[in-house]
Structure 1
Amino acid sequence: MKRIQILSTLLFFLVLGTQKLGFFGQVSADPVKNTIPKINQNGEDFYQKGEELQNAGKYSEALHFFENSLDIYKEKGNTKGTGDALNKIGTMYYYQGKYLEAMNYFNKCASVYQKINNIKGVSSAMNNIGAIHYYLGNHLKALEYYKKAVGIQEKLGDQKIIAATTQNIGGIYLNIKDFGNAMKYYKKANTIYQKLGDNKSLAQNLNGIGEVYMKQHNFKNAHENFIKSLQIAKSLNDKQKITEVLFNLGELFRMQNEVNEARNYYNQSLETAVKINNLQYTSVSQIAIGNILLQKGKAEEARIKCEDALSMAEKLGAISVKKDACDCLYKTYKLLGNNKKALDYYEKNQAFKDSLQSEHTSNKILGMEFQQKQLLDSISFVKKEHLIQSRHKEEVEKKERQKNYIMLTLFFILIIAAGLWNRLSFMKKSREAIRVEKDNSERLLLNILPQEIADELKEKGYVDARNFSMVSILFTDFKSFTETSEKLSPQELVEEINICFKAFDSISEKYKIEKIKTIGDSYMAAGGIPQPHQDSLRNIVCAGIEMQEFMLKRKLENKTGKPVFEMRLGIHVGPIVAGIVGVKKFQYDVWGDTVNTASRMESNGMTGKVNISEYLYEQIKDEKDFSFHYRGNIQVKGKGEIKMYFVERNQETSASYAAVAFIGN
């Protein structure tokens, strides 16, 4: 199972400094936590109590106290207190695995600290935002924020935060599997922590060093560092760090095929993660346990673990965790003999895998950029070294062997020139490799989004939702899909669906309609977006007719004796809203009553037919290429009675076109 890697040096150097009072006011009932005191003057009491709960690992309770302190600080106009409270709220969301919420509060915190010129607070927020970007897979963005944090702290001389950010950079090297540089940065941070006597940070650092050793399969050193980290974390009662180290120990023993020992540590990690409401480690621990149960043939127990993990991963929005959970459920249902369920989770696993490919491409580009930077540093070092040597030889040999000196100088110049030429040639190849990877990323994006939408996303970083007054929506669905799929193997089923949907994609491209998405055995497309055009209604009807003709032709040509699909198809036209949803795997989607009505057109249609609404009929009834069959008023769930029409090619017009084509040839 692919491990979700958390940057271990996150969020332990938060800016404090609020004045603390010695007592709480009158206790009153609260709809969320009935033990929370009712404040009457300042927010410091709430803040102090929140810190106590944080240190005890009760993050959800601590969050509520920090939120109350924030309200008080805002009401009293205490800007410093507001920044501190926002920082703490972001921290609590992080420890509960809610990373997008955490980033939102760290951004607010940085903005508040900038207003009051709190440089140390800004640096802390920058580092924390960088760490969240690291977890979400945006390593270039993470590096940008780390550099901002280091730049500020080098001016302030704060060794603790410099060490933390140095360790974060080591984490990026670990992610791109540059273990030498990863260990180098981790050990730089380790030296500073030991000088400062900072045991909490040292525990986090030792856990990171253990991860590097584990990735290098140096299991002995990995185990030693994990155990040291665990001992320090237990002495500090740091439940978050205890959870992380226990999980890493489980991973270590799993890699050595000691499954009983691995399961023991996974169970301990799960137990502590549940206590502190850490959804991320709760989910990944359950997936790890589920995979071990599968090895032992306990499919039903594995199913329960992995379904719980998938539910938590949905809340987290962590794509890699969802992918691992779906992979576990695919294997589980396959072992249970439920091929339909296994196929569902196999398709979901593949979808999440595709989404992660863009992150993989980004990481490859990042690795190339790191190599390029190292190359430039190497060239600079060589030039300096040879310059020193040349000057030294000039001083020593100037009076004694002038001729030999000139020859040696020319020799070294030739060496430098050859080295520079070779390195510059390598840099050119590296840039070309980066260009190829960027082109691949561009093609991946255009496979997901329309050209216009992709351009807007690259330019602005987001896409504005748009209203369209006249968009046609097409839905297809295979009749008796479940019964038919049970007669095919999973490979045959996926192959048959893929053949059909590839044909539909080709037809959609031919008639310039936009494929929106596939949902199981359903195919959805739209005409007239993202750029409206006058022939969109005629084109989408032609596309629907060709799709049905393809399905009929495939049925007639079927000589294998295997069951084939029959398809319903419905089209409606009207206003919709279109835009992008999601932050990891972008999807261009449409919403509105028009979409719902189009779906009803499909579900109330007949196999082999193109069913359209009365409103669409009114728009295209004068088209000579089509003939229509009025079906009357059809009772539709949630819509009442709707007039519907079957549409097909006008045979006379089609024959006329064929005759003209024949004569022309």
Structure 2
Amino acid sequence: MSEIEKLERQFSEAIDNKNKIEIALKITKASYFDDFEKSRFYAIEIITLSVREKNRYLMARGLSYLGTALGNMDILNKSLICFKKAMEIFQEINDLEKVCFSCNNLGYSYLRTSNYKKALLYFQQGLEIAEEHEYLQIGAVILQNIGQLYAHISDLEKAMDYYLKALKLYETDPEYYITNLAIVYSSIGGLQKSLRNYEKSVYYHQKSLEIYQKINDDLGIAGQMCNLGSIFHIQNKTDKAIKYLNSALEKAEQLNNLEFIQVTCNNLGTFYLSLKNYDMAISYLLKALQIAEGIGNLLSSFDNYQLIGEIYLKKGDLHKCSEYLHKALNLIGKVKDLEFIQKLYRSLSELNYSMKNYRESLDYFKKSMEIKEKYFDESRNRQINEMEIKYEVEKKQKEAKIAKAEAEMYRLKNIELEKAYQQIEKEKNKTDHLLLTILPAKVALELKNYGYSLPHSYENVTVYISEFRLFEDIQRNFTAEEIIRHLNEIFEIFDENFEKMNSEKIKTFGDRYLAVSGMPMEDENHALNILKAARKNLDFIDKRNEELGLNWEINIGIHSGKVIGGIVGVKKYLYDIFGDTINTAARILEYGQPMKLNFSHTTYNLVSDYIKNPEFKETEVRGKGKMGIYSIR
């Protein structure tokens, strides 16, 4: 008989309500992570018995446990209700440590629903209590969760800062906080992976693994092995990747943890796919798919259908490809992830093209582009939202400091009162200045005051424009469907090249591609960023021409200067740009050499330390007079 079964028997035999509550508390805690339904059932028993005993403290604890159980079951709206009610009771009975725990529970629940503003509000409230009363354990947990929040909104520097603060507290008593240490080491390892510091990522995940091995936590061991296998995969350390991923799968199978088995099989499937071992990739992905279908994970099922179909397309098995892609298509009404949907439409377009169903191929291609644009818009809106969150975070932190200063002011006497007031005014001015530096001044102030942004001038920006040389001749040699497919493949690589170089795609129009660096976020290397990305574009075109036996060439124009742009719209924010800098880049494109980086003297001055012996010519340019144009390859 297991320990939980013994406790359940004691509960059923107990007569005294207080005794029943104590046993129910033990059962609820013991079944936290293994049996959510059991944890929920006994949490309700705690609440019911506490009401009979008129014990509000135990009722609040029961509500907290019920909120946790419901959260584990992904019933987040009811989970939030329980946590809020528990917090109200703890506040009434003045149990500040439990209020602090409730703040963390509410913050984490809002974090899971991506309501970052409310999550941060509760985390900060809990952290203030923890720091004031030296509740080290819950304080460290909140710091760690704030780090996770910042990681979610891509503020990796602040995420690392909070993780390290949590780590410092845990290291004050490493034996007591041993599990917390393992978790925060893993979080830091994940952050280092996002920052592409792979050696540091390996270091922290190995420290986490060592702790889990020390405390014999098999699930933790499996998780860190999976993380390490994933990093070794990125580093092309094939033998190590296989070793760790297989070890993770073996552990997960020993534990019979279906969700973890599914995740690990997915990782192994994508690993073998990268090695072009399609049969092994399919075998693992089918195993992951079977589990996803069994546990009702629609998003994972959808992704697996699409990926398996894509592999069969690579193998040339169009029948099997069609079978799995259409299974994914049947789930499309239940899937909200636009990136997954866009990938499916793109695969269906390629499938139909291979089957010579050009009309269907074009239809799916258009759907793919529509979803891609929608996803792009949502990504931009998400970035705006993240910037607003960062703005409000700094504002609340400064306001909290000012509030404390004001409280102190009222305790001062006579002359000291005026001195304190002047200091507060100074702090307020600093706060306003800091908040206006989080966003471009006009954008921040106009969004704050009016809910929209007027165009903003950016002084130091480099603009890239490219188009295909003799594109009308190219069009004569290909069908419309083929032209669209070629442009899509090329522009997707261009997108990646500019993103890697901290540059921003603005738009494409026909065969033209427009990108910038230096806006909306300033970057002193804006000119160098554009040249590096543009050179990658040329290398890609050369390689593609060689592989496909084509002779496509692009003309490129690059110029640096002032650009007008910013957030456009009220309900749906987008960036757009205009100004003479764009016109000049277009003229350079027109008069420059094909398959070379053609740029102005202004741009050359910004990158001259990095370029040797560029070609130079001075030519009469339409609408500009004589202009010097530099060219390199």
TM-score, normalized by length of structure 1? 0.46
- The higher relative CO (CA closer than 8 Å, separation ≥ 6) is in 1
TM-score, normalized by length of structure 2? 0.49
Rg comparison, structure with higher value: 1
